[in-house]
Amino acid sequence: MEGRYVVEINAGLASMSNPTISNEDLLKVKEWEIGMLQGELAASQGISIRRRPPTGPPPHYAGPFEYHLQNEGKTPCNILEEIIWYKDVEVSEMKKRKPLSMLKMLLDNAPPARDFVGALKAANSRTGVPGLIAEVKKASPSRGVMREDFDPLADIHIVTRIGHVLIAKAYEKGGAPCLSVLTDEKFFQGSFENLEAIRNSGVQCPLLCKEFIIDAWQIYYARVKGADAILLIAAVLPDLDIKYMVKICKLLGLAALVEVHNEREMDRVLALEGIELVGINNRDLGTFKVDISNTKTLLEGERGERIRERGIIVVGESGLFTPADIAYVQGAGVKAVSVIACLVLVGESIVKQKDPTAGIVGLFGTTWLKSLLYSILNRSSKHKLAFKHPHELVPFLEGPVLMQSNELPFSTALSNTCRLFSTHISYQLLAKTLDSCECRIVYVTRNPKDTLVSLWHFMNKRRGHQPWTINEAVDAFCYGVTPYGPYYDHVIGYRALYLKRPKNVMFVTYEEMKEDPHGHVKKLGDFLGCPFDGEEEVDEIVKNCSFEVLSSHEVNKSEQSLIKNLFPYNSFFRKGITGDHENYLSNEVIQRIDTLTKHRFHSLGFMYGI
C-alpha cells in the first residue's frame, strides 16, 4: 500500500520498510512506541490507572502495537485516571515554565525539611492512638465542594471568607502532629500557593504535599514550595518510578507516603527498599465505594509481619468517620490516619436514637442548659448538681473522640425515660441522622460577639497551650476557624432543622433564657414531655441552676480537668452575663462582626445578634 510503513525493532532500534521516511520521523515513531511500551509495562505490574496514551500513532502505522491501538480506550476509565491524564498535560506545561535546572537552583532558598515520619511516631507514642494527618481541603471529586467560603488567598479584612492558613493554624493548635495540603487545582481546588503560604505562616507541623505525582519534577517543585513529605500512588506509578522517586525524596530530605489500594499493590511496595510510610486507601478505584475492612485484609498474615519487622508506619485513609472506625484500623496495625478534620472522627451515625424523649443540647450556653435539663428530668430525686460538674452528668457525644474511647457515654443516663447527652457538632456533619431520628433536640445559641469573647477566654484556659490575643481570636472567628466549625454555619444549620422539624427541635437563644428563665424552664418541661404541676418546682430549678449557685459549688471552682487534662472545671463558669463583648471589643471590631452577621443571617427570618 502506497505510503504505508512498518516499524521493526531490532536490537532496540526501529527501522522503516519505507525508505523515504526521514530519520527525524523515525525518531518520533520510536518515541511513540516507547510511550506505548511503558503503558504495557505498567499493565503487566497490575497498575490499574493507565497513563495518557501517546498522541496519535504515525499515519498508517503497522507494528507491534497495531492490535493494541484497535482496542485501546481513548477516554479515562475512572476519575483517578481522568486526573492523571490531565496531570500529564499540566506537568508538561509547568516544566516548560520552570525547568528542573531552575528548581534545583531554588532549593538553596527552600525552608528546611522537617521530620514528618518522626512527628507521626512521636504522636502515636505519646497518645497511644494513631497520629492525625489533618487535611486542608476545599473539595474532592467524591464529595464535591466542602466549603464554599474557602478562599485560600482571602484578604484578612474580607470577613465572609475563610483562609486556609487559619485552618492550618487551628489544626496545629488542636494538636494535629502533621498536616496534608491538597495542591491539585482542577479537581480539588487546591494549589502549591496554598502549601507555600501555610509553610511561610509559621505553622510548625510537617506538611504533606498531597499531589498526583507522575514526574520527579513535581517532587522538586513541592520541596521548593515548603513540603516535608509527598504522596506516591502505587496504582499510578510503576515499581522503578516509585523506587527512583523514593531515592529523590531521601536526597531532598522528604518523606514519601506510598499509597496502596489492594493486595497486589501492597506486595509491590513491600518488595521495594527504603519504604517508611505506606498509606492504605479504603476507596475502590473502580466504584469509589469505601470499605475499611480493606485495611485489615492488607495487614493480615505475612504482610503484617513484614511491615512490623521493617518498622513501616501504616496510614489509614478514606472512610474513617467514627471512633469505632479509628479503633478498627488501629487494631489492624495502623499508626496514623489521614482525615479531613478532627470533627469527621465523630461522623454521621453516632447520635442515632430511637428514644423519643432523648435530649440533645446545642451550642454555646450549654453548661447552663445542661443543668436546667438535668434538673427538669430529675426533679423527683435528689440529684447530683451540687457535687458533680454539669458536663460530667450530661456528657458530650464527642467526648469519646477527645478521650480516645470507643464507647458512647450512654451509661450515664439520668432518667428511666430519657437519655440526656450533648454535642457541639454542626448540623452539616450530622444531617443524615438528625433529619430522620426521633430524638428531641434543644439547640441554644448566643450573640456572636459574646460567643467570640466567651470562646476566647475559654480556649485561653487550656493547659499547655499558647494563648491567643483578642485580635487573633476575632480573625479566627470571622474566618470560621472555631473548634466546631464556623459559628454562622452552625446556627443556620440548626435553625433550618428547627423550621423543618419544629416538633422535634426547640431553638432558643441564651439572651431569651436569661431574660425569662422561669418561662423557658416551663417550655423545656413541656417540650421534653415532663410538664410541671406547680410554679414552686419551676422556681426551685431556676434558683438551683442560677449562675450564682452553680459557680459557688466546690466542684465547679475546682482545678480538676475535663477532657484529657485540658480544661479545668472552673473555666466553664466565668461571668454568665450578656453583653460582655462591650468590655473587650472595639467599635471597629463590633461593626465588622455586625456586618458579617447581617450578611450571614439575612436568610434566617430573624436578625439575631446585632
Is 376 found in the same domain as 426?
Answer: yes
Contacts of 398 (CB under 8 A, 6+ apart): 343, 346, 423, 424, 425
Examine the pLDDT at 114 and tell me if it is beyond 60: yes
In a domain, 199, yes or no: yes
| Final residue of a structural domain among 345, 368, 402 | 345
Whether residue 94 lies inside any domain: the answer is: no
* Same domain assignment for residues 151 and 261: yes
Domain end residue (candidates: 301, 318, 345): 345
What is the three-state SS of 171-215? HHHCCCCEEEEECCCCCCCCCHHHHHHHHHCCCCCCEEEECCCCC
- Give the residue with greater pLDDT, 339 vs 559: 559
Note the pLDDT tens digit of each residue in 275-315: 999 999 998 876 778 888 999 999 999 999 999 999 999 99
**Do 260 and 324 share a domain, yes or no?**
yes
Cell of 51: 497513563
Q: Is 445 helix (H, G, I), strand (E, B) or coil?
A: strand
Pair 30, 118 in one domain: no
Residues 126 and 220 in one domain: yes
pLDDT of 348 > 50? The answer is no
Q: What are the pLDDT digits (tens) for 396-411? A: 766 543 443 444 443 3
Catalytic choice (261, 389, 391, 424):
424
Structural domain of residue 228, as residue ranges? 100-345
Residue 84 lies in a domain: no
Q: What pLDDT score was predicted for residue 82?
A: 86
| Cell 484500623 sits on residue | 329
* 452 within domain boundaries: yes
Name the residue with higher pLDDT: 562 or 362: 562
Write down the pLDDT at residue 106: 95
Weakest-pLDDT range from 97-106, 324-333, 533-542: 324-333
Domain endpoint, select from 345, 369, 395: 345
Q: Find, among 183, 178, 213, 211, the residue nearest to 195 by Cα.
A: 183
Count of positions (residues) in the chain: 610
What distance lies between CA 473 and its chain's CA centroid?
Answer: 21
Q: pLDDT tens, 42-76?
A: 666 667 677 666 555 555 545 554 444 444 556 77
List, for residues 75-99, the tens digit of each pLDDT value: 777 788 888 889 989 999 999 999 9
Same domain (yes/no): 448, 382 = yes
Is residue 476 one of the residues assigned to a domain? yes
- Looking at the structure, tell me whether residues 327 and 363 fall in a common domain: no
The more confident residue out of 189 and 23 is 189
Same domain, 370 and 331: no
398 lies in the same domain as 473: yes
Domain assignment present for residue 82? The answer is no
Residue 610 lies in a domain: no
CATH of residue 316's domain is: 3.20.20.70
- Coil, strand or helix at 255: strand
Whether residues 15 and 126 share a domain: the answer is: no
Number of domains the chain contains: 3
> CB neighbours (10 Å) of residue 295?
27
Mean pLDDT for the chain? 76
pLDDT value of residue 538: 93
Question: Do 180 and 250 reside in the same domain of the chain?
Answer: yes
Q: Specify whether the CB–CB gap between 292 and 325 falls below 8 A.
A: yes
Q: Does the residue 95 lie in any domain? A: no
- Same structural domain for residues 460 and 576? yes
Our answer to whether residue 383 is catalytic in this structure is no
- pLDDT of 313: 94
pLDDT tier, 389 (very low <50, low <70, confident <90, very high otherwise): confident
Q: What is the pLDDT of residue 406?
A: 40
Q: Tell me: the pLDDT tens digits for 261-280?
A: 999 999 999 999 999 999 99
HEC string of 331-369?
Answer: HHCCCEEEECCHHHHCCCCCCCCCCCCCEEECCCCHHHH
Spatial distance between the Cα atoms of 165 and 135, rounded to a whole number of angstroms:
12
Identify the pLDDT of residue 27: 59
Contact criterion met (CB below 8 Å) for 442 and 359: yes
What confidence tier does 117 reach under pLDDT thresholds 50, 70, 90?
very high
